[in-house]
Amino acid sequence: MHLSNYFLPVLKENPKEAEIISHRLMLRAGMIRQQAAGIYSWLPLGKKVLDKICGIIREEQNRAGALEILMPTIQPANLWYESGRYDDYGKEMLCIQDRQERDMLYGPTNEEMITDIFRSYIRSYRELPLNLYHIQWKFRDEIRPRFGVMRSREFLMKDAYSFDSDYKSACASYNRMFVAYLRIFTRMGLKTIPMRADTGQIGGDLSHEFIVLADTGESMVFCDRKYLKIPVPSANINFFDDATIENIVRQWTKPYAATEGMHNKDGIWAKMTEGDRLSARGIEVGHIFHFSTKYSLPMGALIMGQNGKKHPVSMGSYGIGLSRLVAAVIEASHDDNGIIWPKEIAPFDIGIINIKPGNIHCDNFSQMCYEKLQSAGFDCLLDDCDEQAGSKFATMDLIGLPLQVIVGPRSAMAGEVEIKDRKSGTRKAMSFKDAINHIGGI
Amino acid sequence: MHLSNYFLPVLKENPKEAEIISHRLMLRAGMIRQQAAGIYSWLPLGKKVLDKICGIIREEQNRAGALEILMPTIQPANLWYESGRYDDYGKEMLCIQDRQERDMLYGPTNEEMITDIFRSYIRSYRELPLNLYHIQWKFRDEIRPRFGVMRSREFLMKDAYSFDSDYKSACASYNRMFVAYLRIFTRMGLKTIPMRADTGQIGGDLSHEFIVLADTGESMVFCDRKYLKIPVPSANINFFDDATIENIVRQWTKPYAATEGMHNKDGIWAKMTEGDRLSARGIEVGHIFHFSTKYSLPMGALIMGQNGKKHPVSMGSYGIGLSRLVAAVIEASHDDNGIIWPKEIAPFDIGIINIKPGNIHCDNFSQMCYEKLQSAGFDCLLDDCDEQAGSKFATMDLIGLPLQVIVGPRSAMAGEVEIKDRKSGTRKAMSFKDAINHIGGI
């Protein structure tokens, strides 16, 4: 992509309304635009990051055996009367009457609807386990939306729902999602710690939050430093070997970890050595629940068991706040100059800066670099705009592409480029041929 | 994917509520489920087709220079007061009050919001042309939603918006989208004819509908048979060569073509020879508009022109009903046994039928076929379920994968398979090795 053909409305000034770093940087980097309180448009750069995050989540959900579906945003209220949860969300739920005066709502979550889908098709334990997920916009009418997409009203969520015939199998489903979540966040370059959590409005008896560590996080977390060294399973882990998966979950839940609300500083924490104690700031990015028959019982989602008798199916749900995750990554990975994208979710792999557009050597050489890198499989953004070099450097740092290739008049004539690593800030001059090898080897 | 791990709730009986073929087949093939009048969930098979269609549309919109963004579903009503269009949709617009009693709505289209985005960033003709598109759920509260996803209330739409500094450039933008649409529908295996159209609630002076020919289509169309032979440009067409693109549009708009409402049977039609006249049934799948300053003028989306003076930007919009398109493809491509997916949008490339699960030869051989075909890059669905052969054949025909590979006990022992082409119905027995070559060559 040539910047002259792109739509990247960067802001030079810090927008006043943005209280936290990710919100500030997303506005400044032209990733999002507010359309109403807590409601955002995603501009091209933001949309690309969102898509990359969706891509990783899909891959890992599919790997763990979940199947993708897509439920609508608007739900009939009657499903919520059935579950008895219609009033639980209070004014946070966006209630709507359609033209026939039927009560509808913009879904804040989908436990009811998925239970309805399940009960209309599945009859027997033989068709289980089943895990269905979707990635869809949700709405929660927060009284005070703020912090950009970190706490917005319309937000993108991945929610998965598991169905099992008994408790043991339900735990295995829970564990698969637990491990899938470890892989998802790790692939995004995040250090994430699962914490035992309160089940809130979703309900149930077992729940973990996944908290990203970030110095600018929203709340305090307290955990054992051992978490920083527990290995995350590789892509070829067998998700259907229940014992192995359970072992990984045990490893990841054994050391102490607690959110501020659950922290007990006089218990295990008091007995830990100073060196083991890690108190840090974090951001919740995922939340998983086992809630057994909370919805299947009132809604009559029954299955025939091995014993020939009908019983309510055992369920869990597994959410990731996708739009909020974009902000969380930025909170965890930025510096004074802007965003530093982890490689797997960077909107472009490489930014190429033509320092002097109009100079024939610069134009030709930067275009050549662009074409070669594109055909080598790198997605590049070539800044071919007529701006001061200083402003170009600032923009490229701000939008945080992992690698920069800088082409100036002198280097162009010598067939050289300067390579800058956004994270470390190191710059190296080399021939373009060496640069290709260098980039390919990263 | 193994069918035993998949969620494919096919129906043996024709659902009573479905009046048209695509609705019937989508329900029977387990693609969709109704959640409320005109509101559907997309089950795994349906979701895969929807994704493939989105993929083609993205590729072709990007190729034509459009940039993807994502606007929210919920819009503030004040934008619609500004454009003066708040009342135009009447009860079809789903109006909502949020908890602060602000007037909001579920977007039926996005001209207002995109104009608002434009005016907040773009100041000069030098930043144009610009074309921004998104793929997002829309809501139109139809008084009588019916025909499944063909006329639903919540529906997925791709809408692009072009911005140009003058009429000539706006026409070039319009033409680019026109040609992109030809490529999009052709890639989906559809025969589509652009027809001059009424501009309705969107407004403007120039508009074309794209009508898919299908025997079971919703309305009559009248056109010159020449349309069936006009070539559609290949992928390497240069979308930025305005003259070439204009020529293609001219070719595609010169012969007579009219919808029922616009048809004049006493005009050109009367002078055409019987052999040239094509009257057929069709389904509208796309609609493009040039409406100049209809929104930019009242909303103050002004740009600085070359003459140093400010003027309202010239706009167009370009829509494709994505969820409806899935149904249109089925109307255009089915037989008595079920759906016949065009190759590029089939949910799986190949269906493998293990006729006798439990038979060790069948199990091993069909699994081997599955693994070899998957690693050769084909996305396969292996029916490994314990069902009668007749029922398996019926299901595979119903869901319409382009190619079937059938493995029975005798053929398995001989290392042979039967290959069935879904469209022609021809079946051929051959060694698996020959089958691989045969399939690779298709």
How far A116 CA sits from the closest chain B CA (Å)? 9
Q: Which tens digit of pLDDT belongs to each residue from B54-87?
A: 999 999 999 999 999 999 999 999 999 999 999 9
**A4 pLDDT exceeds 90?**
yes
| pLDDT the model gives residue A233 | 97
Confidence of residue A261 (pLDDT cuts 50, 70, 90): confident
Instruction: Tell me what the mean pLDDT of segment B286-293 comes to.
Output: 94
Partner residue opposite A96 with nearest CB, options B43, B68, B96: B96
Cα gap B222→B259, rounded to integer Å: 6
The confidence score (pLDDT) of residue A206 equals: 86
pLDDT for the residue A442: 65
B190: pLDDT strictly greater than 70: yes
Contacts for B223 with CB less than 8 Å, ≥ 6 apart: B193, B195, B255, B256, B257, B258, B278, B280
Between positions 36 and 75 of B, the ones with CB within 8 A of A are: 36-37, 39-44, 46-47, 50, 65, 67-75
CB of B325 closer than 8 Å to CB of B344: no
Residue B305 CB coordination number (10 Å): 14
Residue A211 C-alpha, separation from nearest chain B C-alpha, in angstroms: 27
For B188-261, where are the alpha helices, taking DSSP H only?
242-253
**Residue B196: its pLDDT value, please?**
86
- Contact at 8 Å (CB) between B148 and B40? yes
Termini Cα distance of chain B: 22
* Segment (H or E) for B160: strand B154-164
Instruction: Inspect the interface and report whether the beta carbons of A72 and B9 lie closer than 8 Å.
Output: no
Contact yes or no for B154 and A72 at CB 8 A: yes
Q: For residue A72, what pLDDT is reported?
A: 98
Q: What is the pLDDT of residue B103?
A: 96
Amino acid sitting at position A46 = G
CA–CA gap between residue B360 and residue B69 (Å, rounded): 52
Which amino acid, residue A270? A
Residue A49: count other Cβ atoms within 10 Å of its Cβ. 23
Q: What is the 3-state secondary structure (H, E, C) of B65-103?
A: CCEECECCCEEECHHHHHHCCCCCCHHHCEEEECCCCCE
Predicted local distance difference test score (pLDDT) of residue B361: 96
Instruction: Name the strand (E) or helix (H) holding B46.
Output: helix B44-63
* Neighbouring residues of B64: CB distance < 8 A, sequence distance ≥ 6: B131, B176, B177, B179, B180, B239
Contacts of A81 in chain B (CB under 8 A): none
* Neighbouring C-beta atoms of residue A226, cutoff 10 Å: 15
Burial B32-67 (b: 16+ CB within 10 A, else e): bbbbbbbbbbbbbbbbbbbebbeebbbebbebbbbb
Look at A41 and B104 and tell me if their CB atoms are within 8 Å: no
Amino acid at B60: E
- Scanning the structure block, which residue is given the tokens 């002078």? B271
A130 vs B: CB within 8 A: yes
Integer Cα distance of B436 and B431 in angstroms: 9
Give the pLDDT score at B202: 67
- Residue B77: CB atoms within 10 A of its CB come to 18
* CA-wise closest residue to A211 among A249, A257, A246: A257
- Upstream peptide bond of A72 is cis (omega within 30 degrees of 0): no
What distance in Å separates the CA atoms of residue B394 and residue B12, rounded to the nearest whole number?
9
B240 touches chain A (CB under 8 A): no
Mean pLDDT across chain B: 95
Whether A259 contacts A197, CB under 8 Å: yes
Report CA torsion sign: A41, A46, A48, A53: negative
Does the structure show a pLDDT above 80 at A198?
A: no
Question: Over 70: is that where the pLDDT of B442 sits?
Answer: no
Q: Which amino acid is it at B251? A: Q
Q: Which residues of A117-151 are buried (b: 16+ CB within 10 A; e: fewer)?
A: bbbebbeebebbbbbbbbbbbbbbbbeebebbbbb
Mean pLDDT for the stretch of residues B91-119:
96
- Which tens digit of pLDDT belongs to each residue from A62-97? 999 999 999 999 999 999 999 999 999 999 999 999
Determine contact: B152 vs chain A, CB below 8 A: no
What totals of helices (H) and strands (E) does chain B contain, helices first? 13, 23
For the segment B365-413, what is each residue's pLDDT rounded down to a tens digit?
Answer: 999 999 999 999 999 999 999 999 999 999 999 999 999 999 999 999 9
Distance CA B54, CA B61 (A): 10
CB atoms near residue B301 (< 10 Å): 21
Q: Please report which helix (H) or strand (E) contains residue B164, including its range.
A: strand B154-164
Q: Is the pLDDT confidence value at B317 over 80?
A: yes
pLDDT digits 0-9 by tens, A305-345: 999 999 999 999 999 999 999 999 999 999 999 999 999 99
The C-alpha atoms of residue A296 and residue B430 are separated, in whole angstroms, by 49
Q: What is the pLDDT of residue B206?
A: 86
Report the half-sphere exposure of B431 (CA within 13 A, side-chain side). Answer: 3
Tell me the H-state helices in A94-151: 111-121
pLDDT tens digit sequence for B203-235 = 667 899 999 999 888 889 999 999 999 999 999
B81 contacts chain A (CB < 8 A): no
A274-277 contacts, C-beta under 8 A, 24 or more apart:
A275/A225, A276/A224, A276/A225, A276/A226, A277/A222, A277/A224, A277/A225
- Over residues B289-314, mean pLDDT: 96
| Residue A153, SS3 per DSSP | coil
**Is A35 close to B98, i.e. CB distance below 8 A?**
no
- Specify the pLDDT at position B332: 96
What proportion of chain B, given as a percentage, has pLDDT over 70?
99
- pLDDT category at A216 given cuts 50, 70, 90 is confident
Interface test with B, best of A3, A120, A121 (most B CBs within 10 A): A121
> Which tokens is B10 given?
């096919």
**Number of inter-chain CB pairs under 8 A, A vs B:** 132
Task: Say if CB A270 and CB A92 are below 8 A apart.
Answer: no
Q: Is B11 in CB contact (< 8 Å) with chain A?
A: no
Report the first-to-last Cα separation within chain A, whole angstroms: 22
Residue A440: what pLDDT?
A: 83
Pairing type for strands A219-224 and A277-292 reads antiparallel
Q: Which of B33, B35, B51, B55 is nearest to B43 (CA)?
A: B33
CA distance B440 to A27: 48
Residues 6+ apart with CB under 8 A from B386: B357, B358
**pLDDT exceeds 80 at position A201:** no
User: What confidence tier does A376 reach under pLDDT thresholds 50, 70, 90?
Assistant: very high
CA proximity to B75, closest of B100, B102, B99, B101: B102
Please say if the pLDDT value at position A297 is more than 90: yes
pLDDT at B441 over 80: no
Partner-chain contact B69 A106, CB within 8 Å: no
Residue from B74, B100, B133 to probe the interface with A (highest A Cβ count within 10 Å)? B74
How much is the average pLDDT of A143-170? 96
What CA–CA distance (Å, rounded) separates B139 from B161?
19
Assigned token pair, A236? 């070829």
User: ipTM value of the model?
Assistant: 0.96
pLDDT > 90? residue A403: yes
Which position has the token pair 């275009």? A367
Residue pair B310/B304 in contact by the 8 Å Cβ criterion: yes
Q: A236 pLDDT exceeds 70?
A: yes
From CA A150, how far away is CA A234, in angstroms rounded? 29
